[in-house]
Structure 1
Amino acid sequence: MRASTERAAGLALGVLLDAVFADPRRGHPVAAFGRTAAALEHRLYADSRPRGVLFTATLVTGAAGLGLAAERSRLPRTLTTAAATWAVLGGTSLAREGRHMAALLEADDLDGARARLSHLCARDPSGLDAKALARATVESLAENTSDAAIAPLFWGAVAGVPGLLAYRAVNTLDAMVGYRNARYERFGWASARLDDVANYLPARLTGLLTVACARENRGEAWRVLRRDGAAHPSPNAGRCEAAFAGALGVRLGGTNAYGGQVEQRPEMGDGRAPEVGDIRRAARLSTAVTAAAAAVAAVALLAMRRAR
């Protein structure tokens, strides 16, 4: 098999492995990367952009170099691509978290749901009622469908194992230091900006795939994506959330609290506020979009082989 065919097969097999096994509870490679990043931050941290650039560049290039070494090893490229894909994908675990939140809210366990929300986002859950928790969960499922699944598949199709590992490094660093607070405003700037760049095309692809998977609400998903996708303060999250809002027939956005700071986000969609029952619908939509992205990646790679 040529490289593009091996890459297509490896991505498909990795998606299957993620669907069957999801993320391991212990010994996850991304967790090991996070510990390495935390140790390097301890050594390099200073309240400056240059130190943050060095921190980000060291870890991302290191991850890409590890991926390049894996591709050039004697191991079959299909297997190395599959292993890397499984390691960096989080689509199955994301959908499971959504269903877990749905189960807690369906059982009226608000305290349990508030405690569990941190598995999906950094929003302050104290004081959130069932509807607010449902909105937070649906919005997180929408945004993280891109981060956890579509973006890794995109970069895996473009750049193979180095692309898979480098993307997950970028996204993990953004989650660790990409905050606008006193500690990370400057040190985390490079990680946050690089994450925006890395997710620019995948987020828009996520929006389009969400429209394609919307079935009876396809027209509404497309309309809301075009109208509201750019309204979000994030250059990428709005595309995903707007498409999900239209596809599910709900209205997302509103007042959010993060670490004591309150933000007023623009509303997306013209439907009702999300309810508990919409969480499972959003989880199913996220799974469908992931499967569609895997199919698109494989078809694109095979088409490239034929074109050559």
Structure 2
Amino acid sequence: MSAIAALWLALAIDRWFGEPPARWHPVVWIGRCLGWAGRRIAPPAGAPARARAAFAGGALAWCAGAALVAAAACAVAEVASRLPAWAGPLLTGIALKPLLAWRMLRDEVLAVEAALSRSLDEGRGRLARLVSRDVGALDAVGVRESAIESLAENLNDSLVAPLFWFALFGLPGAALYRFANTADAMWGYRGEREGRQWTWAGKWAARADDLLSWLPARLTALFLWGASAAAGAGLGTLRREARRTPSPNSGWPMAAMALQLGIRLGKPGVYVLNEAGRSAAAADTPQAARLAARGVALAGACASAAIGCIALRGAA
């Protein structure tokens, strides 16, 4: 009951208050540390290729950072376990909240649609805060599609996966996942980025995130599937559409969102999901946010049930 109470407290804080200030945000601290380490492990662009050294450096740096994050989370969990029955869940919930970012994700996606209603350039500028791709050539439909894709993909990264690992391993599980996901976002690139070569230096981070996100991404798709009252296509269609993306994971929630809304989503020159669907309209963005919100509630309920089942098995 303590872990379940902490989970719902974290979701409530996220809904009512959103993100803490950057100076108090653990994920921001992780990002700064990863940025500092990345400048030391990734060779400068144009430097002689030393794949093994770059891969080993990236793997060792990732493991060291993961160990530090897990140790810090274990320390917080240990303190919480020694507090009175009312205070332990409070501390755990407050510590879990920064590892979840549903409200911020929803608000940023809706802000893209609001900006797009004023001008295409403003919509592109707002979208650039959400995605790493070049947005300069996107038309209004492309901007909207990218925002909805980001909502679906990041629903897993920002909420479902942290809850999944929290249900299994408590606060250390959620913290370790957020470290891995942040490391992938900062290091997991092919080729050059910001003057450094990441193909091998970031490979471990990319593969670790793929592994830790594999099952949660598919659960996210099922939550989006179950959150819609529409009949939608069959799960076989979802599986086929999800496999059209280069990523082993992100295609699942994006395909579920496209199929449930009946719209076409894609990245120019890379993939198209639900190609027979219609172009995304302005009304689809808030509809996508409502669908994702119902998915969040399902994810919280399922995580609570999993925690309860694990506790019962442990007590048996």
Superposed CA deviations along residues 241-283 of structure 1, whole A, max 9, x for unmatched, are: 111011111111241xxxxxxx421433531021222111111
1:258 aligns with: none
1:94 aligned counterpart, secondary structure: helix
Contact 2:41 2:201 in 1 (8 A): no
2:47 aligns with: none
Distance in structure 1 (CA, Å) of the matches to 2:31 and 2:201:
16
1:165 aligns with 2:175: yes
2:94 aligns with: 83
Identity of aligned residues (%): 35
2:105 aligns with: 94
Distance in structure 1 (CA, Å) of the matches to 2:225 and 2:235:
6
1:116 aligned counterpart, secondary structure: helix
Distance in structure 2 (CA, Å) of the matches to 1:56 and 1:78:
30
1:284 aligns with: 290
User: Among 287, 293, 300, which residue is 2:299 paired with?
Assistant: 293
2:32 aligned counterpart, secondary structure: helix
Contact 1:151 1:202 in 2 (8 A): yes
Distance in structure 2 (CA, Å) of the matches to 1:34 and 1:284:
30
Distance in structure 2 (CA, Å) of the matches to 1:38 and 1:122:
16
1:69 aligns with 2:75: yes
Contact 1:246 1:269 in 2 (8 A): no
Matches within 5 A, 1:73-222: 73=79, 74-75=82-83, 76-107=87-118, 109-182=119-192, 183-217=197-231, 219-220=232-233, 222=235
Distance in structure 2 (CA, Å) of the matches to 1:306 and 1:29:
32
1:41 aligns with: 38
1:105 aligned counterpart, secondary structure: helix
Matches within 5 A, 1:42-57: 42-46=39-43, 48-57=54-63
1:10 aligns with 2:6: yes
- What's the offset of the Cα at 1:119? 2.1
Q: 1:129 to 1:269 in 2, by over 3 A?
A: closer
Q: 1:215 to 1:221 in 2, by over 3 A?
A: farther
Structure 1 unaligned spans of 5+: 256-262
Q: Give the TM-score normalised by structure 2.
A: 0.88
Contact 2:110 2:285 in 1 (8 A): yes
Distance in structure 2 (CA, Å) of the matches to 1:303 and 1:7:
12
Q: Higher RCO, 1 or 2 (CA under 8 Å, sep at least 6)?
A: 1
Distance in structure 2 (CA, Å) of the matches to 1:298 and 1:20:
20
1:275 aligned counterpart, secondary structure: coil
Superposed CA deviations along residues 141-160 of structure 1, whole A, max 9, x for unmatched, are: 11111111100110111110
